[in-house]
């Protein structure tokens, strides 16, 4: 029996593998990677490496074994049919008799184009008959601290989130929850709404950033269409700008504000405050 992690070389996957190594022997972990080179670091630590690609169903043939527990980390290829990609993994897991398949989904209240593939994948997984766990992750706090140098330089944060609050958490927080599910018992056929312990809005984010940077930062809310235009003007492809704008609309409606405590209960510790994520980003800049 192995614990299998797909997308193991991604930002979240690496943290999951790291957490598993602190809990189970390396030889019980299988890291699914796209190439041998990408998996070299894992192999050196004693993990089993499996080379497979969501876009190539045949690469998952025989990858799983009966009794395995597995984590399907959702695809980040927005231009692809992500439900079809995920179904490749689900079908292979079902054919092999996997004991548990956990999936990194999106918050259940998130009603935006970005979440559509997650809802579709959840349906496929539930209907597969496999014992499943839906890890409905809120947004990663790290996604809000990219490019802080430019924000500080200009003294302004421009978003289309209105006064909406976001209960984000760090990748390390969500990875710890995945590890708890993969190494624990009694999680079958459950959906966890995973979020930070405290929700924040961009006015508060700007104030905290300004406090830490020693410079006034102003939050300037704009409409969704204006936000798309700004992102495209900055060089972002239209498809991605529309996807992000849909998320901003969800923020504004409070769809990502829930703080039910599932994440801290699974990990056994408080989630990481947004102030800590800002501080870490400033130290690295």
pLDDT at 111: 81
Model confidence at 285: pLDDT above 80: no
Name the residue among 90, 88, 265 with its Cα closest to residue 186.
265
Other CB atoms within 10 Å distance of the CB of residue 267: 21
pLDDT at 112: 82
The Cα 131–Cα 147 span in angstroms is 40
Using a pLDDT cut of 70, give the percent of the chain over it: 100
pLDDT at 113: 82
DSSP 157-183: EEES-TT--B--B-HHHHHHHHHHHHH
Overall pTM surpassing 0.85 (yes/no)? yes
Q: How does pLDDT run across 60-83, given as a tens digit for each residue?
A: 999 999 999 999 999 999 889 999
Q: What is the DSSP letter of 81?
A: -
Are the beta carbons of 138 and 107 closer than 8 angstroms?
A: yes
Mean pLDDT for the chain overall: 96
Model confidence at 22: pLDDT above 90: yes
Q: How does pLDDT run across 186-220, given as a tens digit for each residue?
A: 999 999 999 999 999 999 999 999 999 999 999 99
Record the tokens describing residue 217, joined without a space. Answer: 């930062």
């Amino acid at each position: 029996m192995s614990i299998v992690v797909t997308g193991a070389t991604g930002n979240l996957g690496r943290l999951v593998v790291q957490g598993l190594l602190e809990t189970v022997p390396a030889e019980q972990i299988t890291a699914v990677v796209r190439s041998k080179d990408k998996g070299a670091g894992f192999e050196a630590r004693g993990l089993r490496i499996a080379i497979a690609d969501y876009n190539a169903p045949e690469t998952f043939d025989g990858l799983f074994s009966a009794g395995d527990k597995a984590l399907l980390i959702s695809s980040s290829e927005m231009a692809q049919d992500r439900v079809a990609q995920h179904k490749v993994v689900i079908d292979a897991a079902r054919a092999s008799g996997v004991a548990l398949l956990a999936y990194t989904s999106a918050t259940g209240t998130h009603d935006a184009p970005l979440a559509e593939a997650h809802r579709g994948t959840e349906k496929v997984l539930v209907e597969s008959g496999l014992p499943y766990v839906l890890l409905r992750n809120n947004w990663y706090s790290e996604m809000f601290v990219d490019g802080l140098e430019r924000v500080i330089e200009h003294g302004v944060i421009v978003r289309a989130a209105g006064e909406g609050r976001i209960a984000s958490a760090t990748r390390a927080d969500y990875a710890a929850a995945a590890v708890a599910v993969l190494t624990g018992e009694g999680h079958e056929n459950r959906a966890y709404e995973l979020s930070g312990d405290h929700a924040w809005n961009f006015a508060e984010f700007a104030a905290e950033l300004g406090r830490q940077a020693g410079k006034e930062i102003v939050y300037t809310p704009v409409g969704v269409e204006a936000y798309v235009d700004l992102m495209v003007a900055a060089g972002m492809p239209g498809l991605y700008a529309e996807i992000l704008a849909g998320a901003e609309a969800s923020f504004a409606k409070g769809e990502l504000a829930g703080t039910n405590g599932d994440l801290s209960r699974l990990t056994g510790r408080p989630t990481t405050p947004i102030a800590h994520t800002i501080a870490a980003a400033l130290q690295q800049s």
